[in-house]
Amino acid sequence: MDPIANPLAPAATSLPRIGDPAPQFTADTTFGTLKLEDFKGSWVILFSHPADFTPVCTTEFIAFAEIHPDLRKLNCELMGLSVDSVYSHIAWVRNVKEKMGVEITFPVIADLNKEVATLYGMINPGESKTETSRAVFIIDDKQVVRAIIYYPLTTGRNMQEILRVVKALQVTDEHTVATPANWEPGQKVIMPPPKSAEAAEMRVAEEGMECKDWYFCKKDL
C-alpha cells in the first residue's frame, strides 16, 4: 500500500533491531551538542518520553534520576529524548528540581525535527502522530542495540526492570550464560542449550550444575 495514502503504514526505512549497530546521531541536548559515538565504551540507555511538563513523564524522570547512580556503577549512561525544544527541557528540568527536589543528572535530547525519533522508530503513529512513545533502547559499550522496550503513553516504565535487563545482559556477556524468568543478580543462571549430544553428556556431569534434564541446567556464578 502507498504510505502516502495510508499515514499509519510503517516507515520505509529500516528501524534498528536487537543486534544491530545503534544508529548514529548528533543532537542538541540540555548538556549541549552530543554525539552518540562520544559514548562508545559506555553502555547507554536512550529513552523517549511523550512530552515535557506531563505528570507520568515527570514521575519517570524522577525515577530515572534515582536509578542513575546504580546505572553508572554498571558503566551505563542515560539519555532522554522528546520532540520538545531545549528551552522547554531546561524549564521542565528546573521545575522538577524546584518543585520535586530532584536533579536530572542526564542529558535530554531536543528532537524538534524528529530526526532521532524517526531513526529509532520512537513514534508510533497509531498511538500518537506527534509524540514519542515511551521507548527504551539499551545500547552496549560497542554501540550495538541489545534490548528494545516500548511502553504506551499512559503507562510509566518500571525502572527496576530496565536496571535488571542491563545487569542480565552484562552477566550474559561476561559468563556466556542466559538468565531465567524474573532473574535477579545473585540467583542461578541458565546454561545455553548444548549444541551436540557430546556437549549434553558433559553438561549433566559437570560439577556445580543443577540439571532438570540435559537441555535445562542452572548454576551459580
Query: Which residues contact ligand BEZ (rule: CB under 6 A)?
Result: 50-51, 54-57, 153-154
Q: How far is the CB of 60 from ligand BEZ (least distance, A)?
A: 7
Tell me the closest approach of the beta carbon of residue 98 to ligand BEZ, in angstroms: 19
Q: Toward ligand BEZ, which CB reaches closer, 76 or 78?
A: 78
If one counts every other C-beta atom within 10 angstroms of the C-beta of residue 31, the result is 12
How many H-runs (helices) and E-runs (strands) does the chain carry?
5, 10
- Least CB distance from residue 95 to ligand BEZ, whole Å? 14
For the chain, give percent helix, strand, coil, nearest 5.
30, 25, 45
Nearer to ligand BEZ, 29 or 132 (CB): 132
Total Cβ atoms within 10 A of residue 137 = 24
DSSP-derived letter for residue 23 is P
Q: Give dist(CA 114, CA 131) in Å, integer.
A: 9
Tell me whether residue 57 is one of the annotated catalytic residues. yes
Quick one: 134 or 167, whose CB is closer to ligand BEZ? 134
Nearer to ligand BEZ among residue 51 and residue 165 (C-beta): 51
Answer for the pair 125, 3: CB distance below 8 angstroms, yes or no: no
Per annotation, catalytic residue among 57, 76, 211, 217: 57
Q: From CA 107, how far away is CA 31, in angstroms rounded?
A: 5
CB of 56 to ligand BEZ, least distance (A): 3
Report how far residue 171's alpha carbon sits from residue 179's, in angstroms, rounded to the nearest whole number.
Answer: 8
- The three grid cell numbers given for residue 184, joined into one nine-digit string: 535477579
Residues classed as catalytic: 57
